[in-house]
Amino acid sequence: MLNGQKIVVVMPAYNAARTLRQTYDEVMAHGIVDLVIVVDDASQDETVAVARTLDRVQVEVHPVNRGYGANQKTCYRLALAAGGNIIIMIHPDYQYTPQLIPAMATLVASGLYPCVLASRILGGGALRGGMPWWKYISNRFLTFMENILLGAKLSEYHTGYRAFSRQLLQRLPLEANSDDFVFDNQILAQVIALGCPIGEVTCPARYLPEASSINFRRSVRYGLGCLGTALRFRFARWGLARPIA
């Protein structure tokens, strides 16, 4: 716990057997995390078997692959049901360092930010960590367009390392969002639509061979989905579409 607030870390997992334990060990090393929830999206490896050997870990298994967004929906639903006051999502593929958990949790616990992102762009961690150049350029272009359309000034919208307050998650219409990767973008657009501030901390990243990734075709579809979300937000602001939150 941190200042009497229960911290729950959620890990949306898919074929993460090789890196799950290492990620978990660094998460728990801080001594402030009360519970880890691993939601497995029908992995083809030993992710579930590894997760079930870990202490203070709740394991949920999707019998069929439902998608990254659907995985997160289950993660957040279970975290709220477990009484989490601060919910932190980190991918179990060890791309993001768990060393930032105390800082992110503190920013939420202090009441300064109900949402905190670990940004690979701040400090130049993305390229140093091995992000492919085409993904970096796409990230920068999408972020530029999203900032214009959403009226925000974030360094990136596409990180898989985020912290939320319980109160904020309860206000978000998560089930209305996509079951695919664009879920990540939709949830941030909804936070902005609610007028809630978003904090960012710089985050080094590692692009390991076993790290999760999506191919070029799905990346293009994701990018179009992100732009669609931002346009819908702008149209809603102009009164030409339904509010997104």
The structure tokens listed for 97 are 């360092």
Average pLDDT over every residue of 231-236 = 90
The 10s digit of each residue's pLDDT in 165-207 is 999 999 999 999 999 999 999 999 999 999 999 999 999 888 7
Identify the burial level of 126 via C-beta atoms within 10 angstroms of its C-beta, where 0-12 means exposed, 13-18 middle and 19 or more buried: buried
Compare 241 and 85 and report the one with higher pLDDT: 85
- CA–CA gap between residue 114 and residue 166 (Å, rounded): 8
Beta pairing partners, 13: 40
- Residue 39, pLDDT > 90, answer yes
Q: Do 123 and 156 form a contact (C-beta atoms < 8 A)?
A: no
C-alpha distances in angstroms, 132 versus 49, 85, 139, 191? 32, 36, 11, 29
Whether the model clears a pTM of 0.85, i.e. scores above it, the answer is yes
In this structure, the number of other CB atoms found within 10 A of the CB of residue 34 comes to: 17
Domains belonging to the chain, first-starting first, are 7-237 (3.90.550.10)
Average pLDDT over every residue of 98-126 = 93
The structure tokens listed for 232 are 């819908």
- Residue 31, pLDDT > 80, answer yes
Amino acid at residue number 52: R
Q: What is the structure's pLDDT at 80? A: 98
- CA–CA gap between residue 12 and residue 67 (Å, rounded): 10
Q: What is the structure's pLDDT at 206? A: 81
Tell me the backbone φ, ψ of residue 29, rounded to 5 degrees: -65, -20
The structure tokens listed for 77 are 């639903």
N residues, the chain:
245
If we measure between CA atoms, which residue out of 235, 231, 203 comes closest to residue 99?
203
Compare 217 and 48 and report the one with higher pLDDT: 48
Q: What is the structure's pLDDT at 79? A: 98
Return the SS3 of 163: strand
